[in-house]
């Protein structure tokens, strides 16, 4: 699946292409996509393909095409504080982007069939938290993953505000998926070769919308041949944050507000330099002459032989003027992690500073 947009040179260019093609339509989704580099979820030897709008699979590791993920993110209508369940959570790429929007008081759970993919997802999540400067621009709802078949979830599990299934669902499993939703919740899944959005509008009321045609590998049915018994999947508990963790969230939030206020005071209205206006050049144009003769109209284009040369000279003058007024190309300064800099400057014991920074390496 994929190939709907051109390949990008880097993650930002890929997102630019998805925006231009209207796969990414909201600011929250755009911010989440830009914050996490898709290439970080590829094995090193395959990273050259990371910014193509194509699915990627290696063994049990799988990533859907960027255009699919962006449609899914938009359809989920994510908001801070919601609960999310990812069925077939794979590498954790989608779950991590969702976590950036859910914020610290959301719930972010994933179920994945293959234990080796769970380990891969945990490694990628740890890498993102410890090394990415994007992490400090958000308050993150860290995903929790469990191993198991998503068709064997315990019937007494909690229901979720948002659910996504990353494998093809047949009609006989539609009701099973719907029952994972709270009233008012949204389920997005490939249902009979169509990416489908289902909104639960009441205890037994649903609204269904087909988004686009897709081709997903089907759900793997539970295998009971070993013992004849179902392996019940117990989802992670909805944990209450500790007072210590709540304090860290509050302190980081306060520091971010101070940084924002300082930036506003320093930059005023946000325009560091007044805009430069280019002087418009008045160009000589060829004139059309209309001649009236015995009630008939004859139109002819009369041009001065020197007009063509003058026009060429005007274009050359314009080009030179643009060259003269173009500001010199400057290499952008490396981005500064202002939150980190501010925390490290505080008169606090080092262990407390590192705790506020989630013990991050950068």
Statement to judge: residues 225 and 253 lie in one domain: no
**In contact, 200 and 248? CB cutoff 8 Å:** no
Average pLDDT over residues 325-330: 61
In a domain, 153, yes or no: yes
For the cut 60, the answer to whether the pLDDT of residue 157 exceeds it is yes
User: What confidence category does residue 253 fall into, taking pLDDT thresholds of 50, 70 and 90?
Assistant: very high
148: which residues sit within 8 A by CB, 6+ positions away? 111, 112, 113, 231, 233
Which residue, 207, 224, 239, sits at the end of a domain?
239
Which helix (H) or strand (E) is 105 found in, with range? none
pLDDT of residue 240: 86
Structural domain including 132 reads 72-239
250: which residues sit within 8 A by CB, 6+ positions away? none
For the cut 80, the answer to whether the pLDDT of residue 282 exceeds it is no
Q: Over pLDDT 90: what percentage of the chain?
A: 69
Statement to judge: residues 109 and 250 lie in one domain: no
Average pLDDT over residues 121-148: 94
pLDDT of residue 361: 72
pLDDT of residue 330: 63
pLDDT of residue 331: 61
- State yes or no: is 64 an active-site residue: yes
**Distance from C-alpha of 267 to C-alpha of 19, rounded to nearest angstrom:** 29
What is the tally of structural domains in the chain?
A: 2
Statement to judge: residues 221 and 199 lie in one domain: yes
Statement to judge: residues 221 and 246 lie in one domain: no
For the cut 90, the answer to whether the pLDDT of residue 355 exceeds it is yes
Q: What predicted TM-score, i.e. pTM, was given to this entire model?
A: 0.79
pLDDT of residue 336: 85
- The CATH number assigned to the domain holding 186 equals 3.40.50.150
Q: Is 196 helix (H, G, I), strand (E, B) or coil?
A: strand
In a domain, 9, yes or no: no
Choose, from 6, 64, 115, 300, the residue flagged as catalytic.
64
In a domain, 270, yes or no: no
Statement to judge: residues 85 and 234 lie in one domain: yes
Statement to judge: residues 97 and 179 lie in one domain: yes
In a domain, 220, yes or no: yes
3-state SS record for 37-66: CHHHHCCHHHHHHCCCCECEEECCEEECCH
Statement to judge: residues 246 and 162 lie in one domain: no
Tokens 């988004």 sit on residue: 211
Task: Give ∠ CA 337-38-215 in degrees, rounded to 5.
Answer: 150
For the cut 90, the answer to whether the pLDDT of residue 64 exceeds it is yes
In a domain, 94, yes or no: yes
pLDDT of residue 311: 56
For residue 194, give both structure tokens.
């169509």
pLDDT of residue 266: 84
Statement to judge: residues 101 and 234 lie in one domain: yes
Which helix (H) or strand (E) is 27 found in, with range? helix 27-35
Which residue, 239, 273, 291, sits at the end of a domain?
239
**Distance from C-alpha of 178 to C-alpha of 267, rounded to nearest angstrom:** 50
Q: Which residues pair with 199 in a beta bridge?
A: 186, 207
Statement to judge: residues 186 and 254 lie in one domain: no
For residue 84, give both structure tokens.
């999310």
pLDDT of residue 322: 62
Average pLDDT over residues 142-149: 96
Average pLDDT over residues 42-53: 95
In a domain, 130, yes or no: yes
Statement to judge: residues 226 and 258 lie in one domain: no
In a domain, 109, yes or no: yes
User: What confidence category does residue 83 fall into, taking pLDDT thresholds of 50, 70 and 90?
Assistant: very high
Statement to judge: residues 245 and 232 lie in one domain: no
For the cut 80, the answer to whether the pLDDT of residue 100 exceeds it is yes
Statement to judge: residues 254 and 212 lie in one domain: no
In a domain, 17, yes or no: no
For residue 80, give both structure tokens.
């801070």
Segment 229-240, tens digit of pLDDT? 668 999 998 888
177-186, Cβ contacts within 8 angstroms, sequence gap of 24 or more: 177/87, 178/206, 180/85, 180/153, 182/83, 185/159, 185/160, 185/161, 186/75, 186/76, 186/77, 186/161, 186/162
**Distance from C-alpha of 315 to C-alpha of 3, rounded to nearest angstrom:** 40
């Amino acid at each position: 699946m994929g190939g709907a947009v051109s390949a990008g040179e880097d993650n930002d260019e890929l997102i630019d292409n998805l925006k231009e093609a209207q796969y990414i339509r909201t600011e929250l989704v755009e911010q989440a996509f830009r914050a996490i580099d898709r290439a970080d979820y590829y094995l090193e030897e395959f990273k050259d393909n990371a910014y193509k709008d194509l699915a990627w699979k290696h063994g049990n590791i799988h990533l859907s095409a960027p255009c699919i993920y962006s449609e899914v993110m938009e359809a989920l209508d994510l908001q801070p504080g919601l609960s999310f369940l990812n069925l077939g959570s794979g590498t954790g790429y989608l779950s991590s982007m969702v976590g950036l929007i859910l914020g610290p008081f959301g719930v972010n759970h994933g179920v994945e069939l293959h234990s080796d993919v769970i380990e891969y997802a945990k490694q990628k999540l740890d890498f993102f938290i410890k090394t990415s400067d994007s992490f400090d621009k958000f308050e993150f709802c860290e995903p929790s993953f469990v191993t198991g078949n998503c068709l064997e979830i315990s019937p007494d599990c909690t229901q979720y505000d948002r659910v996504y299934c990353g494998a093809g669902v047949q009609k006989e499993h539609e009701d099973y998926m719907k029952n994972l939703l709270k009233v008012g919740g949204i389920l997005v899944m490939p249902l009979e070769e169509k990416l489908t959005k289902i909104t639960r509008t009441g205890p037994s009321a649903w609204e269904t919308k087909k988004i686009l045609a897709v081709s997903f590998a089907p759900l793997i049915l539970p295998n009971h041949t070993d013992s004849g018994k179902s392996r019940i999947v117990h989802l992670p508990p909805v944990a209450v944050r500790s007072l210590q963790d709540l304090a860290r969230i509050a302190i980081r939030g306060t520091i971010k507000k101070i940084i924002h206020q300082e930036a506003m005071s320093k930059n005023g209205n946000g325009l560091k330099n007044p805009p430069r206006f280019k002087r418009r050049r008045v160009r000589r144009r060829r004139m059309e002459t209309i001649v009236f003769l015995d009630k008939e109209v004859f139109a002819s284009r009369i041009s001065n032989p020197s007009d063509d040369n003058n026009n060429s000279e005007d274009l050359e003058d314009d080009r030179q003027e643009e060259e003269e007024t173009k500001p010199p190309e400057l290499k952008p300064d490396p981005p500064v992690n202002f939150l980190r800099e501010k925390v490290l400057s505080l008169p606090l014991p080092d262990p407390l500073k590192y705790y506020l920074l989630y013990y991050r390496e950068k």
